[in-house]
A and B are shown apart, each in its own frame.
Chain A
């Protein structure tokens, strides 16, 4: 029997990630959609070509990174302005392992995750004493310090020339095209996002949220603050490392400019626009922030094709519009896209008898 509404009678049901049969079907359909999307053909040509496939790939990679920073900032309440540099640590580690040591991609990715987790925990040590604003400034410093190391430690990072790295291969088959590489990224992204969603239902995840909501109460309830803050830095950086490594392998080339402070800002913007402390919000944010510059550049091109004299203006406004959108989101939708999504879902749940 199905009641009008959504009733849960056990805690187990209440904690499920996909709560209703309808959602489960939707997710299955969505998964199939993601699987067949790159190979869909229309009149003998792939539906997703060139740049569109690339955008989809970047969205998946950014989702992993955004979920990572959301674990740290959204769930544990530790503001991080160093996500860009941590992505870089992952990318360089994987580049070093695969290109210079000659090991497989499948060693490179976990190595990238682990090394970045370690780096994140080292730079997370100030969180023992600092919080909020002070920690944000400490992570900002770590961003600049790491960036400097990327450029100067030439024997490992290749300095300003960067490193060329290969695409992964299994048993002789190389995933050289974006289309085949997409499936590797998709698999990694699904595993990591599901892991994050599950983590938040465990003791550890609840400890993170307790630390965020009221750290003094959390400490009194027996949560070891430093341990969980550091753990959060570690897990978050692991995600950043894997995302950075996947990004590096997608470009086949790693240099320090790809991991500057602007990348950190973009990732922070992702989770704020998507929704702090929400896995689906991180994904929304990743989609939004990857699509936005593409959309802006399309608009810029159209405008400057019509009126060439303002082309220079339009290009410099691209960044400004980006900033403006962040400001407008913060003022008018501070809870992010995840909140809006919830409202839409709530509206349709009881449709057409919502009142």
Chain B
């Protein structure tokens, strides 16, 4: 699926919930099912700065697509990463670089996170895109 389609799917899913407690419950479930990063990649180099809970992200190329794995010590944070990974993982670097992230505003994710978590979210997206830029350079 294209990034845009996945984003629309997520927006639809979030619209089904009545309140933010339900959305949190959903994010917690997503967090629990997050593709876990391998222990060897949980290094200081892979920690995303700007998150108050610890977040590790690892990226590797599979043919021409970028695969992200991640982990966090906080479960709601893991849920947020799980959403981002669903959108951006297994996509071509060029598509990741170009993708807009309007869906985050549409599902109201940012305004329902604490300011520190919202900053963390911005840092996470930036980091995923940075990985894409780095791997795109490799592909070129």
A and B are partners in one complex rather than unrelated chains:
no
Which residues from chain B sit less than 8 Å from chain A, CB to CB?
Answer: none
Which residues from chain A sit less than 8 Å from chain B, CB to CB?
Answer: none
